[in-house]
Amino acid sequence: MPSLPSYQEATTRADWLQVVSSYIHTSDYHALCLVNRHFWNLFAPLLWIDILATVRRRGLKPDDDLSWWFDFTFVKLGDVRLSTRGLVRVLDLRDFATESYQFATDENARFLRSLHMALKLLPRVNALLLDHHTEIDPNSLVSLTKTHSSPLLLSISHCSTQLPGTFFTSPSLQKLVYLDVSDLPGSVAPLLQPLLLPDLRILKLAGRELDDATFIGLAELYKLRLWSLDLSHNRLTDCILQTLAERCFPPSSLRSPDHFQVEGKLSASNHGTITYGAFEFIEESQFSGSFSSPERYHLDAPTYDAQPYFLHGQRQVFRSDGRGTLRSDSADGATHILSHQTTHYDVEDTYRNSRGITHLDVSYNQISGSGVEKLLRISNGQIEHFACDSMPLVPPRSPAQQLWPSDTSLHGIAGLAHVFRPVYSSNLRSLRIHHSLVTNVPTLNVDGLSSLARLHVAETSIRFRIDKAYPQRYVPDMNPRLSSLTLTCVPRRSSGPLIERLLGFLKLLSLQERHISDASHSSQAASWHWPGMLKGLRHLRLEFGPDCPGKDTTAAEDVDAGHLMSSGERGFSFFEGESHHSARSSDTKSRVARRLRSDSASATDVSAGQDNELEKAKRDKAEFIHYQDEWNGCGFELQVWAGPAHPHSNPIINDYRRLVLNHRNLCASVGPVSPAQVLAGVPEKSYVFHTAWRAALMPPGELATPAPQDLAGMRDVLGALKQHRAAGRACYQDLQGSQKHATLGVPLGAPHFYWTGSLEVSTKQ
């Protein structure tokens, strides 16, 4: 909990000039500094604290960056008073002098000399941002700061110079709180030295070819010291998750049964496996399973404990009550705080405190969807911001993956909406995740189909099976504590279901803010002591992939389209021995032969393990399979559900049973049934073979290559979103105009369903 303000801070009246300063244009700062000393004390720091941002706001054009900079550093800066130069805290070159033509060889040397001069003349610079400046040698600048300044923030991502092994031993870096060394050449081994960087709290290591062994060494060294860690674009796998949880998350849990009526609670068993972790079921209340509790939008009541400290001085902690804002681990947010640009008395102390990782980015690794589920389950509810843009649906070397065609993979997250609920993710406030969490549409990677055809197959055939396997998708009321959601890898083209589900999610957001508004009015009318309301999801960002309909309306580059149209036969198969690609026929025939032998061998292995045919017949009729394993040094036995003996209406359940009985290598990753699987038809409180269940997501047999007219009929997702938002806004504004004299105004939600939150869209060219 932040410390209370001092008596002076609590009783001092706000300065009116400070209140209005945020509304004053930068171009007026200089004139205001000349009014009197009081004005100077307020506006001079605003003018000088980030000098490059100031000159940009005052109209400096990018083409004139170098000429202005050379004149400023070599001619004018030395004549400025030391007290004024001491106001400069930030040297941010990320958007300064970035045009490559400006950096001829002779000007490179001059630019480096000017930076040396600036660091000598600006003694209190504590935020140094040099990202994407490949001509700069960070080592020379850092060695210069030994006698001039000690930065708290250093960001040197995408610099081309390899850092020497002694770089991080520099005394000037030992006060660093924020360090970004993403996308640099060389190893991260120099960071794995004990006693270095004791104040480091935010570390970004994206794109450093980080493997499992190196990360484990990193986790063993830093432990609970970091609260933000960026591991995106590396080579990490599910193998790091247990170490990450044990070393980088505190042992105390933020999950509590006190919220059972609203959110449900976890019911732990005494069993588990190394792969899955401890077995837990969600025990639902009357309202928690349907996310319909009347109190689901209420802020948590203030926490109190008669004994706030445990043995050995460990402080008891509680989850966030939902009132405060999320700590920012971005370069801009860290710069703003660490350069003392904030007026809040407790922000910097909160920034420097750490109880382990709360902000984690593992995007674009080999961590699978099941790995993401395990990570959130074993994190004790500590994570506040989580990012995983894209992930394999199953682990790359999983037995399930081996049954799929060798050139086929699925990316996304399916059936895991429950781990983002507060019952697991107690403190989650910001989420960046693959769009399949909301849509159930994965990203399909396969040879033999065009990009547009892959989108169509993923949205139709594969989406159908995922819907059957995991009918429950994420909806806003699953976690009203979540305030920001970014959906990544969204396709630009859709045959219909993707658009329908994105628009349906926007409608649910509109209904959520209506329910929050109604609940707030009802609570205020009922009592003066109402607890306050959560704001719900207020920021939604959709990040789209590239759009190239002109190239991909047919699969001509991969398939003989003329042959397909004349023969009327299907040209692509997930069991490639049935494919009609003549160039690959011999290879696919041999691959099918191997798969058939594998199926036969699996069935033989299963039957060979039985004493006689009677045992085999008994097994084929049984709905449960006996399973033995060990957890925490103790053996245990379970009955694992293998599917009904008679055909089920859900094809996924039938395929699951076939895979379990015929492929013993799929009888792995035993774990409790998830809420989505219960909706699919699995018995409650049962255990399933999750590997076999995920293997059933890939359609058996042959899938047709989409017809050209089907691809031509795919709609622009972004255009449909714009049309929907425009229609909703127009309806909302019309209602406002017709009721502008009414007392209550236009209600949120129905009939316009216009969501008033922030919808942001990003497109990739």
* Residue in the block written with tokens 């040209």: 571
CA distance 390 to 411: 6
Distance CA 235, CA 465 (A): 30
Q: Find residue 762's DSSP bridge partners.
A: 543
For residue 512, the SS3 value is helix
Under DSSP, is residue 199 helix (H, G, I), strand (E, B) or coil? Answer: coil
The distance from CA 519 to its chain's CA centroid, rounded to whole angstroms, is 30
3-state helix, strand and coil shares in percent for the chain, rounded to the nearest 5: 45, 15, 45
643 φψ region: left (φ > 0), alpha (ψ -120 to 50), beta (else)? left
User: How many of the other CB atoms lie within 10 Å of CB of 495?
Assistant: 19
pLDDT at 625: 94
Instruction: Give residue for tokens 């060394």.
Output: 181
Mapping DSSP to helix (H, G, I), strand (E, B) and coil, where does residue 317 land?
coil
Q: How much is the pLDDT for 18?
A: 86
* Cis geometry, peptide bond prior to residue 549 (ω within 30 degrees of 0): no
The pLDDT, as a whole number, for residue 230 is: 98
Pull the structure tokens for residue 746: 């236009």
Cα separation, 224 vs 543, in Å, equals 32
pLDDT number for residue 588:
42
What pLDDT score does 11 carry? 82
Report residue 610 as tokens.
């039985």
363 SS3 class: coil
pLDDT tens digit sequence for 293-322: 999 999 988 776 655 554 444 556 788 888
Concatenating the DSSP letter of every residue in 380-428 gives TT--SEEEES--BSS-TT-HHHHHS-TTEEEES--S-GGGGSTTT-TT-
Cis peptide before 751 (omega within 30 of 0): yes
pTM of the model: 0.88
Cβ proximity of 228 and 337 under 8 Å: no
CA angle 646, 651, 652 (to 5 degrees): 105
Domain boundaries, the chain: 262-301+369-379+393-611+699-765
Query: For the chain, which residues score pLDDT lower than 70?
Result: 1-5, 100-106, 143-148, 304-316, 341-348, 525-530, 548-619, 701-703, 740-744, 765
